[in-house]
Amino acid sequence: MTTKQKLITYRYNSGRENMLKKIHQSLAVWLIRKVQKYGPHKVRVNGKTYLISEDVFNPKYYCTSSFMANNIKVNSDDTVLDMGTGSGIQAITAGQHASKVVAVDINPEAVRFARKNVRSNSLEKVVTVLDGDLFEPLDRGLNFNVIIFTPPYMSGERITVFDHALFDPDKGLLRRFFTGAKDFIKTDGNIQMLYSSIAHPEEALKISRDIGWKDTLISEEKTFSESFLIYNLTLD
Ligand SMILES: C[S@@+](CC[C@H](N)C(=O)[O-])C[C@H]1O[C@@H](n2cnc3c(N)ncnc32)[C@H](O)[C@@H]1O
């Protein structure tokens, strides 16, 4: 094959791959919206009960939440930040082991339900839930051993409040997250972040590396249409 033919084949394959990823993303968004609307709003995950509403990411049916929760690594004296807490599942899971957890969400409905779930799981002395955009509601000077993040990763326009759980157009949120996290992580701390094969994880990692984070893949779960990936990131 000549170099020109190789280039044409490469462009054809990567164009096809991008198209397939777009189709998978559209299917995932369709499925999540149906689950939000018609799925139960009281669910059990890993032996704990979570109340949600149609506007709060359901922690049961899309597997990302339980996959992350099953892979969280915290020590008993750790302070933990759960960024984008949704139902509160990661904060509550971490709160069973860590000394202190702060959870943040930009969706006021998620904050309301996460607070309810923290109370019903008797963790109000350990877990505090704050309302706001990324690190904005945190006091300067706070720093954490672990930051957990299960971000939105589909490309699409945010119209409703729930869309914050789905879309990160141009990975702008991810860029702001990795920049801000540098000010709130302890020197030997780490980020535990979930991402997906259908959302160009290589681009997400390029963003984090450019900002100064070093990544290791710690777990992967394959489904019929996508692979969920959990990365551990530390400052380079
Ligand atoms: C995919 S959901 C994950 C929810 C939960 N952590 C879980 O594992 O089930 C992403 C969450 O991030 C929140 N989020 C999106 N943008 C945010 C921002 N700028 N600041 C804080 N939270 C944000 C969304 O509202 C949503 O609850």
- Which atom of ligand 1 is found nearest the CA of 64? 8
Could you tell me the CA-to-CA distances from 18 to 11, 12, 15, 142, 200 in Å, in that order? 10, 10, 5, 40, 9
Sheet containing strand 213-222, strands side by side: 127-131, 100-105, 79-83, 144-149, 185-196, 227-235, 213-222
Confidence of residue 15 (pLDDT cuts 50, 70, 90): confident
Q: With a 6 A CB cut-off, is 86 part of the ligand 1 pocket?
A: yes
Interval 146-198: pLDDT, tens: 999 999 999 999 999 999 999 999 999 999 999 999 999 999 999 999 999 99
Closest CA to 51 of 62, 61, 40, 63: 40
Q: Can you tell me the distance from the alpha carbon of 80 to that of 198, in angstroms, rounded to the nearest whole number? A: 28
Q: Is 136 in the pocket of ligand 1 (CB under 6 A)?
A: no
Which of ligand 1's atoms lies nearest the C-alpha of 86? 27
Q: Is residue 147 in contact with ligand 1, taking CB distance under 6 Å?
A: no
Q: According to the model, what pLDDT value does residue 51 have?
A: 97
pLDDT tens, residue by residue, 135-159: 999 999 999 999 999 999 999 999 9
127-131/79-83 β-pairing? unpaired
194 lines ligand 1 (CB under 6 A): no
β partners of residue 45: 48
The mean pLDDT value for 75-84 works out to: 98
Whether ligand 1 lies within 6 angstroms of the CB of 90 is answered as yes
Residue among 82, 85, 136, 160 to mutate when testing ligand 1 (max atoms within 8 A of CB): 85
Answer yes or no: is the C-beta of 107 below 6 A from any ligand 1 atom.
Answer: yes
Q: Which amino acid is at 99?
A: S
Listed as own residue / partner, the contacts of 128-132 with beta carbons closer than 8 Å and 24 or more positions apart are 128/101, 128/102, 128/103, 129/85, 129/88, 129/91, 129/102, 129/103, 129/104, 129/105, 130/102, 130/103, 130/104, 131/104, 131/105, 131/106, 132/104, 132/106
> Ligand 1: distance of its center to the CA of 182 in Å?
19
* Ligand 1 close to Cβ of residue 166 (< 6 A): no
What is the number of the ligand 1 atom nearest to the C-alpha of 136? 20
pLDDT of residue 5: 66
